[in-house]
Amino acid sequence: MLFHMLAEEPIQFFRIVAIVIISITLHELGHGLAALSQGDNTPRKTGHLTLNPLVHMGWESIVFLCVAGIAWGQMPVNPSKFRSAKFSNILVSAAGPMVNLALGILCIALMKLLVVSDATEIFSINFLHLAAQINLMLFLFNLLPIPPLDGFHVFSELFPFLKPLDDGRCGLFGLMILLLIPDFNAGLAAIADLIIKALSGM
């Protein structure tokens, strides 16, 4: 439970909450802008082209994040308005995780820049490392081919035989099993750290 960290490591708690909220908000905006580029104006009509995290996450998600360390967001889109049923769906679905990947790489680049410029006393390397780690974990998690994650929509377009598995109950059951595995988050974090080490050389 993330809430336990509030008493023991309050600064780390607020860092994680802030990074996750910003990352999910930008993730959802990525979906929305991609949908807009593919001819779907639903994100604009519903008021979701905003930086307001409450619009994308809602109070429930933010509270659940603070208590349990789990959060979610949503971006309403209408695939029937996409220019291409296949390509547009892949692009829009992949846009969110790619935003997280880009944010992770940006944080890694800033880490390297701080070390080279010897400005580590001015800015926090640990904060940037945490931001990179969280965004890379979000990238990896969301690309898992499990409904309703973005990865399922990408892979089901590439491998149509997966489409019958697009069942909300089935997907939620699969996600619950994953999240109940004690080492699942630790595994994602370890992979993220390997990527950070490989790209930063640190």
Catalytic site positions: 28
- What DSSP string describes 135-157? HHHHHHHHTSS-TTSHHHHHHHH
